[in-house]
Amino acid sequence: MIAASEPHTALAGARILRRGGNAVDAIVAAKFAATVTELPLTSLGGGGVCVWGDAADGYQVLDFFAAVPGLGLGVLPTLDFAPVTVDFGQTKQVFHIGKAAAAVPGELVGLLELHRRAGRLPLHEVVATAAAWARNGFTVSPQIAMIIGLIEPIAKSTPAAARLLLAGGRLPQAGDRLANPDLGDFLQALGEGDPNSLVAQYQASLVNHFGPAQGGLLTTQDVAAYAPVVREPLHVPFGPYRVLTNPPPAAGGGLIGAGLRIAESLGIGQESFLSREHQLVVAAILATVSQIRLAGYDHRLYADPASIRALVAGDGLPAWVERARSRTHENLLGATTHISVIDAEGMAAAMTTSNGEGCGHVLPELGIHVNNFLGEDDINPAGFHRLAPGSWMSTMMSPTIVVAGDRPCFALGSGGSNRIRSAILQALLNLLLYRRPLDEALNAARLHVEDSKLWFENVGLDEGVADALQQAWPAATCFDATSMFFGGVNGVASDDGRLSGAADHRRGGVVMVAES
């Protein structure tokens, strides 16, 4: 069973499951496909995180998010770094693009490392579907067409970006076809040749085209030093379950864990679902999680990660809340995408990746649009180009597996920038406390709190709930329809070996069953 944000992505993974691949083979194949068919959201020039495992071998996290470039540089060069404004209709937001917006990417080497560690099918089978769609073209889904429309200034910022993202020079519509022959050739060579030599070619291109002489910051030392990191998942005990998610230096897992501990301490779960009482108590939990984020949390991810593990164990929550003081930025697009898989043998995998919005520049002859992680406010809270070269960038990405005993019962995750923590936390509460069916748990009305501001969806709520939320949060923003602003949770479930799946309608999610 596979759940993803786009039909091609899900199909690529399902094909591999039908051919006898395991959950890791399927999720790697699906993510390679996503770098073709979900290009506004993810690329081999981006980064991500995967949690995977089974009852026999345990669970691990592979962190292949981005690192800060600039190792070996002295004085910063003249930087290719410029703002672009993205119009969301109700509001506008500024992102920064250009070659100096590119962090050291990890997605290509991360996917290869994950497959090497836990896949069982040969690489050429795993990449074949993605290579074919890149070379021969694929049909643009409504959701991807909409997202390309949102990032129009980036899609049109350079001729190379326009060739990948536009259809005959115009914004694509659902049903149009796009192709990326250079990427198709690269993926085919990756599967049929020596992956190490292809990675070396890719890394040399990064340095040649994103180095100081071209207005970027990537150096030979950066690509030589980069390697995906295997981490122990953050373990959050929750009743009869253990929630396994992304540990520090990522931000999201600890905040989700803190929210679960708060919910458990309050004894919630008996309120009528989507009632006034339910929505108000969830909003209060989300507000407390936001206070924790503002209480020196991001600093502790690096300086004191043990305190994050203590936090999700329920220790010291009041002290965290008392330290709240400042505000973070919101990325309204949240250009991330998520895949979840559970196979028939009980292996689970959950992977979230992103390209930011893309920096507007493409690696020549490879067709790889490179990230703009250094140009996003929300993951550069101290300001742009302030992080030390070589440091690992933090992310809200929180791919999550829930186990009962040692067996996986849910695998899920979400896109959505800072809303990722709220989306996954609410999905978990809906499943584990309110006992909602999987599809309802992932698609029910959602809330998010950032500092003192509430956003909520007024969809399916009991009568008077929206008024109660507005009264409790006078500055609240109400959405009268579900919105991609609130993320896109895709999940699969195993109940005594019976598999099911659900995908988030907000981002065009798709579920596929693969029967061999």
Burial of 152 (0-12, 13-18, 19+ CB in 10 A): middle
Q: Which helix (H) or strand (E) is 95 found in, with range?
A: strand 92-97
Strand 510-512 versus strand 453-457 pairing type: unpaired
Extract long-range pairs of 90-97: CB within 8 Å, 24+ residues apart: 91/332, 93/331, 93/332, 93/333, 95/154, 95/356, 95/357, 95/372, 95/375, 95/376, 96/372, 96/374, 96/375, 96/376, 96/384, 97/154, 97/157, 97/357, 97/358, 97/359, 97/360, 97/372, 97/375
Q: Which of 129, 336, 352, 353 is catalytic?
A: 336
Q: Is 337 one of the annotated active-site residues of the chain?
A: no
Q: How far apart are CA 32 and CA 37, in angstroms?
A: 9
Buried b (16+ CB within 10 A) or exposed e, 256-285: bbbbbbbbbeeebbebebbbbebbbbbbeb
C-alpha to C-alpha distances, 165 to 173, 187, 333, 369, nearest whole angstrom: 11, 19, 17, 10
The residues assigned a catalytic role are 336
